[in-house]
Amino acid sequence: MATKLFLIAIAIYRLMVTVGLTTLGPNELLHLSTNRAEVEAASVDFGRLTQAEPVAVFHPRSDVDVADLVKSATTSTAGFTVSARGHGHSINGQAHTTDGVVVEMGRRGDVNGPSRPKVNLREEYVDVWGGELWVDVLRSTLEYGLAPRSWTDYLYLTVGGTLSNAGISGQAFNYGPQISNVFELDVVTGKGELVTCSNKINSELFHAVLGGLGQFGIITRARIALEPAPQRVRWIRVLYSNFTEFTKDQEYLISLHDKPSSQKFDYVEGFVIVDEGLLNNWRSSFFSPKNPVKISSLGASNNGDVLYCLEITKNYFDSSESVDQEIDALLKKLNFIPASVFTTDLPYIDFLDRVHKAELKLRSKGLWEVPHPWLNLFVPKSKIAQFDKGVFKGILGNKTSGPILIYPMNKHKWDERTSVVTPNEEVFYLVALLRSALENGEETQTLDYLTHQNRRILNFCEDHNIGVKQYLPHYTTQQHWITHFGDKWSHFQKMKTEFDPNHILATGQRIFRPILDVNNVALR
């Protein structure tokens, strides 16, 4: 390890000499850290399912720093792998690299660090550093009365991280995922080139990087679309005991995407309740802890059966009078359990940041930094009823160990030129099993049990030709990746050859093996 670090440091220093930056040594100039705590932190992620230790952690102050590092990795005799890391919220080590360098894209509070978000009021966009947290993007844009249009449920994720996957939440039916709301990117390719790209300029790179799992470049800047930010949110939950009625209503609500704002909800999600208990879950604090709501109190006790919760919101500015009328008109068209309407009203920023509040509570109980064997699937509309019967009412066995989200999206809101893979139907569902493993809990809460259950779910989908696609995918062989990408594989492979020919980027995804010789030299 020490020898590898020495070779990497020499490679970086030689590059600095070549471009005339000789006043500082490589560790000072490029912020290459071998601090034990930093290296160990970079070797784990939110999933806590795998561990891979890098040689060093790199803290860039600019996109030029990132480009110089990657160029060193590809042009020196000490070729090495490079992985960008945002907030460390991957599940299966996707941002890891063994014996390489992890680029820590997050801020360190350094006044000389990357540029802060810059809002363009006239054209309604914001330019942000790839390592910027979405919560900080929100705070910056709200100062101008604006906000991004499409979100993730959790805001303590980096811009570059979510754009490398898709970035989805309950607004996706209306605006598409976050990758459908980007005007322009700055990307450091696997060749160490800093490239500006958009729909019109270097469009192949632009579309490849969006949803590209970090395979083609590191996003250092993103230009994000904005809209006027509402002031408040009416947050509504209603219950269903009939899955057909539940999905029918969800699909109806997302079909209103082209209607005026007064005739549709602004956010449509849902979740599954497979065990008796509170209507709350850790993702949010919809109900006050002092006033919890039990399913049995609704006159809709599930008696061991599955219930489904539709979660919807209406944004508004100052007066809620017209909002009440709009909500009533929409709710009248739905077929939920009549006694199960629950509403709360809160500031817009509080709704968007709802999961973080739950995070703080779990951290205080020591329940956040535990293994998270999450499984996120895109399920085609035509198979969702079969999935419900086989998984929600079958494999799960009336136990959850965490929230289970389910909500539909419109495929035409996704740009097929991006690298993301979705089912080949106009409407498809996200099913997200967001479980936490507790080794000192019941057997059904252990990591082994939940991991085995995930395999059973995937096997069920394969055996019954459900046609799912993994979101935040994880595979261990290239053949599985080829199957995952399907018709997109040949283009994906072509883009890899074009923009990262030595396969040094994002090796934790396990899609391509680095092309290094026995001396770890990148072969060009």
Q: Catalytic annotation on 484?
A: no
The CATH architecture annotation of domain 2-106+494-509 reads: 2-Layer Sandwich (3.30)
Predicted local confidence at residue 290, as pLDDT: 42
Q: Catalytic annotation on 89?
A: yes
Predicted local confidence at residue 102, as pLDDT: 98
Predicted local confidence at residue 23, as pLDDT: 34
Whether 262 has a pLDDT exceeding 60, the answer reads yes
Out of 104, 136, 153, 311, which one is annotated catalytic?
Answer: 153
Percent of the chain with pLDDT over 70: 86
Q: CA-CA distance, 513 to 508, in Å (whole number)?
A: 10
Orientation angle between helical segments 489-499 and 478-485, nearest 10 degrees: 120
User: What CATH number belongs to 232-470?
Assistant: 3.40.462.10
Could you tell me the pTM of the whole model?
Answer: 0.92
Average pLDDT over residues 2-23: 52
- What class has domain 118-228? alpha beta
Predicted local confidence at residue 435, as pLDDT: 95
Whether 279 has a pLDDT exceeding 70, the answer reads no
> Checking DSSP bridges between strand 118-120 and strand 32-33, what pairing results, if any?
unpaired
pLDDT tens readout for residues 213-249: 999 999 999 999 999 999 999 999 999 999 999 999 9
Q: 439 pLDDT band (50/70/90 cuts)?
A: confident
Average pLDDT over residues 143-164: 98
Out of 31, 59, 87, 89, which one is annotated catalytic?
Answer: 89
Specify whether the CB–CB gap between 202 and 413 falls below 8 A: no
Domain boundaries along the sequence of the chain:
2-106+494-509, 118-228, 232-470
Specify whether the CB–CB gap between 185 and 207 falls below 8 A: no
Question: What are the start-end ranges of the H helices in 263-353?
Answer: 321-331, 348-352
Average pLDDT over residues 116-140: 98
Average pLDDT over residues 272-285: 61
pLDDT tens readout for residues 355-384: 999 999 999 988 899 999 999 999 999 999
Equal fold, 2-106+494-509 vs 118-228: no
Beginning with the edge strand found earlier in the chain, give each strand of the sheet holding 342-347 in spatial order.
342-347, 232-240, 307-316, 267-273, 404-410, 427-433, 375-380, 469-470
Q: 277 pLDDT band (50/70/90 cuts)?
A: very low
Q: Catalytic annotation on 153?
A: yes
- Looking at every residue in the chain, the average pLDDT score rounds to 90
Predicted local confidence at residue 110, as pLDDT: 66
Out of 269, 311, 326, 500, which one is annotated catalytic?
Answer: 269
